[in-house]
Amino acid sequence: MANEQESDIIKDQTQSQDSQHLDSPTPTNEPISSNKRIAKNTIFLYFRMLITMAVGLYTSRVVLNTLGVEDYGINNVVGGVVAMFSLISASISASIGRFITFELGTGNIEKLKRVFSTSVTIQIILAIVVIIVAEIVGIWFLNNKLEIAHDRMVAAHWVFHCSLIGFAVGLISLPYNACIVAHEKMNVFAYISIIEVVFKLLIVFLLLISPYDKLKTYAVLGVIVAIIIRLIYGWYCKLKFVECSYRPILDKKLFKQMFNFAGWQLFGCSADILRNQGISILLNIFTKTTIVNAAAGIAMSLNSIITAFVENFTAAFTPQITKLYAAKKYKELINIIYIGSKYAPFMMLLLAIPIYLNAEFILQIWLGQVPEHTINFARITILYTLNELISLPLIRTKNATGKIRNYQIVVGGILLLTLPIAYIALWLGAPIEFVFIAKVITSILAMLARLYMLRGDIPGLNSLHFLTNVYLRVIIVAIIASIIPFVCYKCIPNQTLQFFSTSIIAVICTSITIYYLGCNKTEQEQMKTQFHKLKLRILKK
């Protein structure tokens, strides 16, 4: 299957495209097969997420009860010391994924093999460096800075070493996982996730019956599972993908390109982290209490639940963006950008509108006691995430170009403007919620900057057309879809009835509004066709 896909890409590349005569950014003939593949991969990713979330919630409760509060806390804080290195691994992962997917898009198999082998070599070197640094710095930090009971220090060391081994195994696995994503075999992630879930449940069982130290046992079993899953991914990739035969090479030119890309990715990630940490500090300084920080953390956690469902859709179309750019299929690429920028926020609205209206009820059920400002923080954060989802395909496309130095400097600088804007507003007496409003403002500015900086990279991408046919359309859909649910919310006094009625009405209103106002005629026809096919299948059964 992989070879067939590669040959198709090579064949498509031979067909020249005149970028000066591109049609409208919303073409009438959309690449149906690509859209079907995205839909199929999205379903697999949702399936994977639901399984891992369900088992994760169950196992975390059992592990907490089995280890006890103290040992569970040790496992989290010591594992967190190792997790600090994840910022570096995330940047390298993005670089590896981009270069592998790009070469798959160009159809240059020999170059693809060199990229893969160089990626594995880089990860092995990085894993060795991380282990050496962590064993020196991490052990010192563990022994001198963390507050851990003396009689549990040996167990804490076991957790640290096991976490470090697991992290190194994860680093070496990244090129293999990147190949699976690049080939869009999302079903493999779903199937292997089932295997991983079975192992996690087995860990819980063994932990319950183990006569040995529970914390040590849990740490060792976690490493064993990580190694087994790594071997499964490696076996599958070597079996299915021609490029996944590792040779101990290090292409210096590729090495420089990949680390240059990763370095600027790291700059962008650092700017985002600095902004979020700066917001926490500002909240603490101006309110002189950690309660508001708790409210901000709860708001972000609630929002993470919403975005988790949408991120599977965005993960499904990311490889398509890189491949289309590599093959210089700009018309199809613009189509994918439009689809992703519209339908990711549309999907979010199905959950966001009910949660936005019923934030107080949901938080009371979830927490019991809701800290002050939490409701307003949660609602503003939903608006922020809606805007970020519109920008996500633009971010993926800019990464596909590889030209990210100036982009990261400009966008990272705009994101950091959140702090001075929020500081000045709070100093002038603005309500504390303005910290999150400032985040929304800079998010909009960053989206405009991304769109402007993509113009020269993607022939045919019209900024004004994007703003009117995507951005404005999403805003209109969000406003129109909220009117009837908002009226019901105000008219129904009982909170429980209010929640269920507004949620159902919101989903119906949002779906209808998306169809009639959010979709163009071509998209409406495709929806009708797919609905008709689904109805026929149901009737046959």
Per-residue pLDDT tens digits for 408-418: 899 989 998 99
Flag the least confident range among 146-150, 240-244, 359-363.
146-150
What DSSP character marks residue 152? G
> Higher pLDDT residue, 120 or 69?
120
- Residue with more model confidence, 446 or 310: 446
pLDDT at 69 over 80: no
- Determine the 3-state secondary structure of 6 from DSSP: helix
pLDDT of residue 81: 65
pLDDT score at 228: 93
More confident residue, 540 or 474: 474
Arithmetic mean of pLDDT over the chain: 81
**Taking the CB of residue 455, how many other CB atoms lie within 10 A of it?**
12
Most confident of 13-22, 69-78, 152-161: 152-161
Percent of the chain with pLDDT over 90: 22
CB 484 within 8 A of CB 503: no
Q: Where are the alpha helices (DSSP H) in 327-417?
A: 330-357, 359-367, 374-401, 405-416
Taking a C-beta distance cutoff of 8 angstroms, is the pair 236, 188 a contact? yes
Distance CA 294, CA 291 (A): 5
As to burial, measured by CB atoms within 10 angstroms (0-12 exposed, 13-18 middle, 19+ buried), residue 392 is buried
Can you give the three-state secondary structure of 99-120, one letter per residue? HHHHHHHHCCHHHHHHHHHHHH
Query: How does pLDDT run across 339-363, given as a tens digit for each residue?
Result: 889 888 898 898 889 999 998 898 8
pLDDT at 354: 92
- 296 closest CA partner among 393, 403, 395, 422: 422
Q: pLDDT at residue 37 above 70?
A: no
Across the range 465-482, mean pLDDT stands at 94
pLDDT at 129: 85
pLDDT tens by residue, 269-281 = 777 777 877 887 8
DSSP per residue, 229-275: HHHHHHHHHHHH-TT--------HHHHHHHHHHHHHHHHHHHHHHHH
The answer to whether residue 260 scores a pLDDT higher than 70 is: yes
Note the pLDDT tens digit of each residue in 285-296: 887 766 777 777
- Mean pLDDT across the stretch 459-478? 92
Distance CA 541, CA 522 (A): 29
The model's pLDDT over 500-525, given as tens digits with 9 standing for 90+, comes to 999 999 999 999 999 999 888 888 88
Nearest residue to 375 via CA among 395, 394, 361, 389: 361
When pLDDT is cut at 50, 70 and 90, the band that residue 11 belongs to is very low
pLDDT value of position 7: 36
434 band by pLDDT with thresholds 50, 70 and 90: very high
Rounded to an integer, what distance in angstroms lies between the CA atom of residue 485 and that of residue 230? 47
For range 56-82, the mean pLDDT: 73
